[in-house]
A and B are shown apart, each in its own frame.
Chain A
Amino acid sequence: MNLIKYGEKFFDEIEIEIFRKKEISAVAELNQISSTATRDLKGSIIRGIKDGKIGTYILDSSDEKSIKEGVEKAYKIALKNEKDENWHSLPEQQKYSKNKVNREIKSIREDYLVDSLVLSLKKVKDKKPEAIVVGAETGSVWEETEIHNSHGIDVSQNNAGTYFIMALSEKIGENVTPTIFDMDARRDANLAYDKVIDSTIKKVKNAENVVKAENGEFSILIEPFALGEILQFALYPAFSGERKVKGTSILADKINEKVMSDQITIEDNPFHKLSINTLIADDEGVATHRNIIIEKGVFRGFLWNTYWGNIASKESTGNGLRSFRTGSVGIGFHNMVISPGKKTMEDIIQEMKKGYIISSFQGAHSSNPDTGDIAAVANPAFYVEDGEIKGSTVFMVSGNIYNIMRNVAEVSREQKPIYAIARGIYPGVLFENVKIANVSK
């Protein structure tokens, strides 16, 4: 690539990532469509290394002239940085898997999205007239990315997906129910609008009766979205190879040790059949793989990017993820998958004598990633007695994520794609002896 040759005039090593992104969405508020939006964005990120000094420049353009100017700016920045004694090199040429992208998504029009949303609003009104559509959104995303570097990385990839979110509430006297939401995300346009609508309406009905939670230890069924939220902040940071090197991961010396229930298997798998992030390369151009992190409760290994892999004498696992805000490449995940169990969610609930269901957490982001300690608020949550949902409630869950993950009673057969916050494929998981304190009145 000409731009890489140009960059090599300045740098010992250079990497250029160019992206183009087209998003289109329709949004509803208060039971009606409020807006549609289109974002047509492009940009480039240049990371260059000269004598072990790194400089990065980000620009909102993908034209050659602007990128060349960006290379020169990155060079000036790098000269002001200090030498990183641990710098080894950018990654070498790779062999990639093939990914299939549904090209129809690129041509989805605003009218189609508005029609789908109008129909969804009508269905909510027909099925549950008292419900208020607090917010709803449906949209499509089309991304094209190229990554090139001076060691022969030269990869282009597309990614595409569609999504639908529905958030409902209902006024009960002077109070309102918590916001009840559900979502679907797919890599084609066949979104399950009806399923999402039915699920949110069912939960709003369950939330009409408010009950006070008890203080103590109970069986808790954490639904897919809530599970993703809490794991994202309390558990996943410990999988980072950087934290292994620095000794701040609680799993640093626990490879091949049992760290949670044998019912839990966690992998990062961009190629899972439900994944909406089917990338063949990470943001450094390293080929992505299926990486098993927890296998039947046993910790199998960390996730690495090139930099921290080199320091630890490990191969990158294809988990170099760039912050498009700052341009730096850290360690992240593409599509976390928690393996399914055997029982349906319905069966798990029916077998609960007394316990609670958590649909979402407030404050999962306050969890301590260095200790795994959590104190998050379950809201919306539901009380279950003799297999029946009796009403909604709010309570605080306190404890340590590793202790909680040891007490798994069941994992649901159903898995759900979650694309917000903790990107991945999650089942519902029933935990035993979770400590809770009532918040609701």
Chain B
Amino acid sequence: MDVDQALKKAENLNASYVEVRYEDITKNHLELKDGVFSTFTEKRLRGYGIRVLANGAWGFATINSDKVEEGIESAYRMALAASRGIREKIELSPIEIVEDYVKSRMKIKPQDVSLDEKIERMKRLERNLKKTDEVKSTQIRYEDAHGKKIITTSEGMRIEFDVNYIFHYLWVTGLQGDKRGAVRNGMGFVDEGWEAFGKISMEELATKMIKKLRNQMNGVSSKRGEYPIVASPIVIGIIAHEALGHLAEADLTVNSPFKELIGKKIAPEYVSMSDRFVQKGFGNAKYDDEGTRVRDVHIIKNGILKEIMLNREYAKRWCMEPNGHARAENYTYPPIIRMRNTVFEPCDYSFEELLEGIKFGYYLADYRGGQAELNSAFQVGIQEGYVIRNGEIAEPIKDTSISGIAIESLKNISAIGKDFGIEYGICGKGQNAFVSSGGPHIRFDRSIVIGGKK
């Protein structure tokens, strides 16, 4: 039975909404570990994620057969069970009902590139990394996907997506005597294809990674405590994502300090932060997984907390318009509220001006992981950083972490750069989502604690 027929039959159920998300995606996973392709895998994921809203509660079912009618009935049964524990019924904010085909913007899709070319690119990167003896071990992962996703709902929505992405991840371990270090790099593409990814110089990437590794192995330990810091676009991006972005996801906002702060000034007027479309953004999309058109969300505008990220359920609760942030990792998960590309907006300081007047502090250039908590405490791992001494970049530091209370740290942003950059990542909130984060260089005079052995 096809989806339309199954949805027609579902009209007999007492459900207020039925959503069928079908995916048929083929993925390639390659992993080159120290000269051996330990992963050489093709994978086909095909199945249905079905959500039913009945009696004010959600039911979700995943199937990987074509028995869609049974899947809908199963999700309906789940919703009825859940509704016995509902006090305030879930309702959905209305959205424009569309029929659309979302064509990929990639010029050269990954499936049109030969496996040989993908392999050679990975081997070239490995060769360049291993030119130096300090590089002890390398892991290069490559992943691409192509296929389709179709969202069909009882409201008449039908959107088909031409799904394509490329993701690359690199981990390099260094060893020199008893000095050890490890650095990572990640890149992801959804709008641009091999025409952009294939042009990235493996030689330049290897050189950058080796520099970071040497800095770690030869760097000094940072001094534990609170110091002025200047964060690079990569690091400020992860602070935007972890420290503030998560608090602006409506399902988390309700339990965070942000709930009482909407419409209030929470940062100096020169601070603006958005979750929006950015060129090459890994979180870019036309519609979300509920079929809502994705729009820019101005989380902080001129220092005032303005907007939060919503799905249809939370938009109804907050009496706001849905803005396209319901995302599901794949058909085995229901969509939940997620970020896309979270960025601080640039201002007018040069990098040199940001460093001016700092007698002792840290320049944080690159990160490795981060995490947020509802009390707005955040942590970001730092894999590349430098001491700032008398307004100049000085010696590198070993890997460490920074932490702070986001709503306090925001107040202590003292200057914002005029440049802009983004980094790619995979955010985990029970399920994975491709995201970007970034911004300009930003200076904090206080409220960021750096870890260290000293």
Query: Which of A's residues lie within 8 Å of B, judged by CB?
Result: 26-43, 54-61, 73-74, 77-78, 80-82, 84, 86, 110-111, 113-115, 117-118, 121, 132, 134, 169, 174-179, 215, 246-248, 250, 323, 325-328, 330, 362-363, 365-371, 373, 375-377, 379, 394, 396-400, 435, 437-441
B181 within 8 A of A: yes
**Measured between C-beta atoms, what is the minimum distance from B235 to chain A in Å?**
12
Using Cβ atoms and an 8 Å threshold, which residues of chain A touch B93?
Answer: none
Most buried by A among B43, B79, B369, B452: B43
Using Cβ atoms and an 8 Å threshold, which residues of chain A touch B29?
Answer: 325-328
Using Cβ atoms and an 8 Å threshold, which residues of chain B touch A73?
Answer: 42
A36 contacts B403, C-beta separation under 8 Å: no
* Complexed CA–CA distance, A221 and B287 (Å): 47
Q: Within the complex, which residue of A56, A60, A177, A330 is in contact with B40, where a contact is CB–CB below 8 Å? A: A56
Provide the B157-198 mask, 1 if CB < 8 A to any CB of A, else 0. Answer: 000000000000000010100001110000000000000000
Query: Which residue of chain B lies nearest to A373 when distances are taken between CB atoms in the complex?
Result: B399
A174 contacts B257, C-beta separation under 8 Å: yes
Using Cβ atoms and an 8 Å threshold, which residues of chain A touch B61?
Answer: 37-40
B256 contacts A60, C-beta separation under 8 Å: no
* Complexed CA–CA distance, A26 and B85 (Å): 10
Seed contacts A35-B60, A80-B115, A117-B85; 20 additional CB < 8 Å A-B pairs: A29-B251, A30-B254, A30-B255, A34-B58, A39-B332, A80-B40, A110-B77, A111-B81, A114-B82, A121-B85, A176-B257, A246-B136, A248-B136, A248-B173, A328-B29, A366-B368, A371-B180, A375-B400, A435-B453, A439-B377
* Complexed CA–CA distance, A394 and B75 (Å): 41
Cβ contacts A to B, 27 pairs, < 8 Å:
A26-B85, A28-B85, A32-B85, A35-B58, A36-B58, A36-B82, A37-B78, A40-B63, A56-B39, A59-B43, A60-B47, A80-B119, A84-B37, A111-B84, A121-B85, A134-B255, A179-B373, A246-B34, A326-B43, A363-B371, A370-B181, A375-B399, A377-B403, A394-B377, A394-B403, A396-B401, A439-B404
**Measured between C-beta atoms, what is the minimum distance from A31 to chain B in Å?**
7
Binds A, one of B1-9, B147-155, B378-386: B378-386
Q: Within the complex, which residue of B260, B379, B452 is in contact with A377, where a contact is CB–CB below 8 Å? A: B379
**Measured between C-beta atoms, what is the minimum distance from A208 to chain B in Å?**
12
Most buried by B among A31, A77, A86: A77
Query: Which residue of chain B lies nearest to A360 when distances are taken between CB atoms in the complex?
Result: B373
**Measured between C-beta atoms, what is the minimum distance from A207 to chain B in Å?**
9
* Complexed CA–CA distance, A174 and B266 (Å): 13
User: Lowest 6 CB-CB distances: which A-B pairs, in order?
Assistant: A366-B381, A33-B85, A375-B451, A363-B379, A375-B401, A35-B58
B370 within 8 A of A: yes
Q: Within the complex, which residue of A54, A215, A375 is in contact with B381, where a contact is CB–CB below 8 Å? A: A375
B369 contacts A176, C-beta separation under 8 Å: no
Using Cβ atoms and an 8 Å threshold, which residues of chain A touch B214?
Answer: none
A327 contacts B449, C-beta separation under 8 Å: no
A327 contacts B43, C-beta separation under 8 Å: yes
**Measured between C-beta atoms, what is the minimum distance from A23 to chain B in Å?**
9
A38 contacts B60, C-beta separation under 8 Å: yes
B44 contacts A81, C-beta separation under 8 Å: no
B319 within 8 A of A: no
B181 contacts A441, C-beta separation under 8 Å: no
* Complexed CA–CA distance, A368 and B370 (Å): 13
* Complexed CA–CA distance, A57 and B44 (Å): 8
* Complexed CA–CA distance, A56 and B45 (Å): 14
* Complexed CA–CA distance, A169 and B370 (Å): 22
A169 contacts B255, C-beta separation under 8 Å: yes
**Measured between C-beta atoms, what is the minimum distance from A176 to chain B in Å?**
6
A368 contacts B90, C-beta separation under 8 Å: no
**Measured between C-beta atoms, what is the minimum distance from A66 to chain B in Å?**
9
Query: Which residue of chain B lies nearest to A66 when distances are taken between CB atoms in the complex?
Result: B44
Provide the B379-423 mask, 1 if CB < 8 A to any CB of A, else 0. Answer: 111000000000000000011110111001000000000000000
Query: Which residue of chain B lies nearest to A69 when distances are taken between CB atoms in the complex?
Result: B44
- Known contacts A41-B64, A110-B77: A368-B182 contact under CB 8 Å: yes
- Known contacts A247-B175, A373-B398, A396-B449: A169-B44 contact under CB 8 Å: no
* Complexed CA–CA distance, A247 and B175 (Å): 9
**Measured between C-beta atoms, what is the minimum distance from A323 to chain B in Å?**
8
Using Cβ atoms and an 8 Å threshold, which residues of chain A touch B201?
Answer: none
- Known contacts A118-B84, A371-B181: A42-B57 contact under CB 8 Å: no
B220 within 8 A of A: no
Using Cβ atoms and an 8 Å threshold, which residues of chain B touch A134?
Answer: 255, 374
B334 contacts A32, C-beta separation under 8 Å: no
Query: Which residue of chain A lies nearest to B37 when distances are taken between CB atoms in the complex?
Result: A81
A36 contacts B81, C-beta separation under 8 Å: yes
Q: Within the complex, which residue of B42, B83, B403 is in contact with A439, where a contact is CB–CB below 8 Å? A: B403
* Complexed CA–CA distance, A81 and B74 (Å): 42
B173 contacts A370, C-beta separation under 8 Å: yes
B85 contacts A178, C-beta separation under 8 Å: no
